[in-house]
Amino acid sequence: NAGVTQTPKFRILKIGQSMTLQCTQDMNHNYMYWYRQDPGMGLKLIYYSVGAGITDKGEVPNGYNVSRSTTEDFPLRLELAAPSQTSVYFCASSYHQGGYEQYFGPGTRLTVT
Amino acid sequence: KQEVTQIPAALSVPEGENLVLNCSFTDSAIYNLQWFRQDPGKGLTSLLLIQSSQREQTSGRLNASLDKSSGRSTLYIAASQPGDSATYLCAVITQGGSEKLVFGKGTKLTVNP
């Protein structure tokens, strides 16, 4: 199993541009998550999904959108990129609710200038 | 609102020393607690997962304990090695909290040869 994969690894955007961060997991996990990590600030949840077709907001959803058309994929869309969205983005997945272990992808480092 | 604190923020030790990293959380109603390792510019690697009903978990030179009632966990690293140098993150899943992990800001560990 490849686990959780993310693309791209790095990206530089100009203010106002849009992009989609891709996330795929091959572990047949129901739950998927997007976190962002800012320097010295820990990770914060952006959006999460409990299964195909179901998504919900996390702690910091503004400026982002998600969709979950399949169990495997959970893309994160940035519309009208802003410097405040410069961060490292991590996708994660877990089998079910009730505190199952979460597995993380390698991250996407995004810079908005 | 669940808050996770890790002390110290940074730690430097000589090779071979045993060390303890601390994690505290404000809401004791958790499903589990996870310890992660993060190398510079890399993703998160899960080290240990302790369910709320458990008191400790061990993996090799690592031992994590959980005292849910007092809101504390420790990660004990025995016979530290330079390869242990990384940032260690503690995170909890709170019951009724959308299954999201709430992270501490991490402890940056440096093991000097």
Question: What confidence tens digit (pLDDT) does each residue in A73-107 have?
Answer: 999 999 899 999 999 999 999 987 666 788 999 99
For residues B9 and B48, give the distance between their C-alpha atoms in angstroms, rounded to a whole number. Answer: 20
A105/B4 touch (CB, cutoff 8 Å), yes or no: no
Look at residue A61 and tell me whether its pLDDT is greater than 90: yes
Report the distance separating Cα A107 and Cα A35, nearest Å. 9
Q: What is the pLDDT of residue A99?
A: 65
Q: Which of B31, B98, B100 sits opposite A98 (nearest CB)?
A: B31
Per-residue model confidence as pLDDT tens digits over A29-41: 999 999 999 987 7
- Per-residue pLDDT tens, chain B, 113 aa: give them: 899 999 999 999 999 999 999 999 999 988 899 999 999 888 899 999 999 999 999 999 999 999 999 999 999 999 999 999 999 999 998 877 566 789 999 999 999 99
CB A108 within 8 A of CB A40: no
Mean pLDDT score, A63-82: 96
- Name the residue among B86, B101, B107 with its Cα closest to residue B23: B107
> Considering Cα of A57, then B40, then B88, then B54, what sign does the dihedral take?
positive
DSSP string, A13-80: E-TT--EEEEEEE-S--SEEEEEEE-TTS-EEEEEEEEETTEEEE-S--TTEEE--SSSSB--EEE-S
pLDDT digits (tens, 9 = 90+) for A41-53: 789 999 999 999 9
For B45, the closest chain A residue by CA position comes to: A104
- Return the residue of A nearest to B48 by Cα: A101
Query: Which residues in chain A are closer than 8 Å to B108, comparing Cβ atoms?
Result: none
- Residues of chain A with C-beta less than 8 angstroms from the C-beta of B100: 33, 45, 48, 58-59
Residue of A nearest to B104 (CA): A42
